[in-house]
Structure 1
C-alpha cells in the first residue's frame, strides 16, 4: 500500500513545481512613438515589446490641455490605478517642471492625466479594431491582455522615456530590437556596445504609403536620433 502514497507525493511535488515563476520586473520603459511600440527592460535586458496606440494627434510633444498629443521626454511611472475608467492604468508624471514652464509661456494649461492603460471599460469597438488607430486623448493604450502583463511587470516608480524616434537609414549591426510597421517602415533600436547606449531608428522601406507631409514617417528631415542610457 506504499505505492499509492508515493504516487500521491510525486504528483503533489510535480504540481508544486509547475507553478509559474513570478514575472520579471521592468526597471525602464521606452516608448517609440513613430514605431507605435513600447519596450520594457530589466537593466539592459529586453523583457517584452508591445504594440501601442497614441493620442489622436500623435505628431509632436504635448504642450497644452486638449491637444490630443502624447508627451515626449523622460518621465516616471509613479502610481497605479486599478479603478480607472479604462482597464487598469499606470500614471506618467507629465507635466514636469519644463512642461509647466513652457505652458506658462504660452498662457495655457499643460494638461495632465497621461496614462498607460487598457481598453475603455465600456466600448462598442473591439480591441482588434480600436488598436488599429491612434484613439486616445494623449495616453498610451494597449489591449487588456497586454495591460495585464504590463501591470504585473511594473512596480512603480519606474522611469519611462517617450521618444518620437528617427527616420534615418542605418545598416550598422547589431540591432537590439526590430519591429515592422504597417506602413512598410522598420523600427530599430541600435546598440552601441561600448557605451550600452541605444538609439531609436526608423528605416524607410516603402515611400508609396499615404502619409501627410507633417507625419514623422514622411522623411528623414523631420527627426533626429534619440539616445537612451539604460
Structure 2
C-alpha cells in the first residue's frame, strides 16, 4: 500500500513538473523568437541609409523591406571605432547571435581589410561588431525618447522584424550599405 502511494505521488510530481516546462505549445506564455522561413532564398541585402530602408532581395526581386535605425552619427561611412557611424560599402553576413542583448542579431563582416588599413593609417582602430539587430531594452528606451538613430553603428529593426530576418538569412549573403 505504501509503495502504491509513493508511486502515485511520484507520478503526480512528474506530471506537475512536465506541465511547468513550457514545451512551446500555443499555451506557452512566451512564444519562441526563432521562426522558420520557407520563401525564396535571400541573395542580397541592400541598405539605403539616407532613406532608412533595408531591402531583402532574391535575385532582382524585393522580398521584404524594413525601416531601419542607424548609428547615432548616421551621415558618412564608418571609419573609426567609436565614431557612431554605420559602415558603407559591400560586406557579407558572417555570424548569428541568438543571445544578443538586442533580441537577436546577424553579423556584418565589417571591417574589411581596406577599412582596417585606412583606420590604422590614421592611427586608429576600425572598430568591429557591426550587426543587424532588434531593439531589445536599449532600443525601446531610444524609441520612447523619440531617438531616430541610436546604435553604435549597427542597423536596428523591430524585435519582431529581426526574428524574420534571422530566419531568412544564411552566412555569406552580401549586404550593400549605401549612403
Flag whether TM exceeds 0.5 (same fold): yes
Rate the CA distance shift 1:84–1:130 in 2: closer, same or farther, 3 A: farther
Structure 1 length as normaliser, TM-score?
0.59
Rate the CA distance shift 1:66–1:47 in 2: closer, same or farther, 3 A: same
Rate the CA distance shift 1:131–1:155 in 2: closer, same or farther, 3 A: farther
Runs of 4+ in 1 over 2 A off after TM superposition: 122-132
Is the 1:75–1:160 Cα contact (8 Å) retained in structure 2?
Answer: yes
Which residue number corresponds to residue 24 of structure 1?
40
Q: C-alpha deviations, 1:77-125, integer Å up to 9, x for none?
A: 11111011211100010000110110111000000100000012x3483
Structure 2 length as normaliser, TM-score?
0.75
2:106 maps to 1:90: yes
Larger radius of gyration: 2
2:161 maps to 1:146: yes
Structure 1 stretches of 5 or more lacking a match? 1-19, 165-230
Higher helix share: 2
Higher strand share: 1
Structure 2 stretches of 5 or more lacking a match? 1-35
Name the count of aligned residue pairs.
144
Rate the CA distance shift 1:21–1:102 in 2: closer, same or farther, 3 A: closer
Is the 1:59–1:69 Cα contact (8 Å) retained in structure 2?
Answer: yes
Local SS of the residue matching 2:41: coil
- Partner of residue 125 from structure 1, selected from 140, 144, 152: 140
Alignment of 1:4-83 (within 5 A): 22-83=38-99
Query: Which protein, 1 or 2, shows the higher relative CO under an 8 Å CA cutoff with sep ≥ 6?
Result: 2
